[in-house]
Structure 1
């Protein structure tokens, strides 16, 4: 799993836990539905930390909580 897919998976998991759709999350976070869609579809090559922070705010979690998962802990180094 790479970083982009880990971010997408985390967003989907959090939406599922809260019983909301990604579109509902975009409204809660104050970002466009197309931005959320591009992150989830892997089209966004580098979703910025500000965007992820807005998603966290919409989910009422911290950045630390967002990234505190086994998937992120087990990511391999991407710089070769």
Structure 2
């Protein structure tokens, strides 16, 4: 998540504000306390980055 934000010259805070996410939700996800995020959470994150879900999952990490 940090990498995607950095690629777009954004901070995580900027992404969650643009996507309408809760800071606590992203904090738990990034710290590994939440291991299975809802699709709606990922969609909002993608919205904050202005990318599609397909773009988000189009990574070697998901192969």
Please, what TM-score do these two structures have when normalized by structure 2?
A: 0.91
Q: CA deviation at 1:65?
A: 0.6
* Aligned-partner Cα distance in 2 for 1:21–1:33: 12
Shift of 1:42: 0.7
d(CA) in 2 for partners of 1:72, 1:55: 17
Higher Cα radius of gyration: 1
TM-score of the two chains, using structure 1 as the length reference:
0.73
Which aligned segments of 4 or more residues in structure 1 are displaced greater than 4 angstroms?
A: none
Looking at structure 2, the residues matched to 34 and 23 of structure 1 have their Cα atoms a distance apart, in angstroms, of 11
Q: Which runs of 5+ in 1 are unaligned?
A: 1-10, 74-80
Count how many residue pairs are aligned between Structure 1 and Structure 2. Answer: 63
Whole-Å separation in 1 of the counterparts to 2:3 and 2:58: 13
